[in-house]
Amino acid sequence: MPGADMENIQGKIVVITGASSGMGAAAARHLAAKGASVVLGARRAERIEALAAEITEPGGKATSVATDVTKRDDVEKLVDTAVQTYGRIDVLINNAGIMPLSPMDRLKVDEWDRMIDVNLKGVLYGIAAALPRMIEQKSGHIINLSSVAGHKVFGGSTVYSATKTGVRIISEGLRQEVAPHNVRVTIISPGAVKTELLDHISEADVREANQDYVGQVGVPAETFARLVAFAISEPEDVGINEILFRPTAQEL
């Protein structure tokens, strides 16, 4: 039934972190086209302002809020803006993340700290901002971004994999706790997707190896957007708890 997913997404208020590029931007465009109102958060204010304008110009609904997910006040403001503008929050997509891969012996401690702040604490701050609203509404959906790297470790991914495994554990614990409140929780674990994420890698040899590989096999960010829409579009009594996807050609 081609119209069914439209009905379940139509009119929903969706907050997206990391919405300035890549998978977050693709999800914003896709969900807005299906009738959702999207609230875009990212550090690059000019990017999300332009994206909001792109969505609203043909009649879609979007607003943007400059957001650094490592600052709890910023994340609270993002969710508050959704509620003040549209009256509620139906979906939170904790999409913001960074992936500065490196071997442990290069001691990129600042990058380890940053990954923990963005990939783990940023997700927790999103949950802290949205969850009280969703419990009060007795409905809601939190979608957290893990990764194939949250299921396995590969060259240079040790700390990144730790943060993404942490997201999976947080999400499963949250799912169990909020089930009585009619709040759904979904973990999405992408494989190789063509986005800016690889640009975060400061070690040239690691960056080039990953860019070469993703350039060969990676799927576009719109793949993620379709899977987000699938998870949201299921009826409220169905929780799509985890989606793990890879390009067909990706072996690991």
Has 213 been annotated as catalytic? no
Number of H helices, E strands in the chain: 9, 7
Contact 161, 150 (CB under 8 A): yes
Question: Which one is catalytic: 86, 125, 160, 213?
Answer: 160
Distances from the Cα of 228 to the Cαs of 12, 61, 119, 176, 213, in angstroms?
A: 13, 18, 19, 21, 24
Cite the DSSP H helix spans in the chain: 4-9, 22-33, 45-56, 72-86, 109-115, 122-137, 158-178, 204-217, 221-233
Catalytic residues: 160
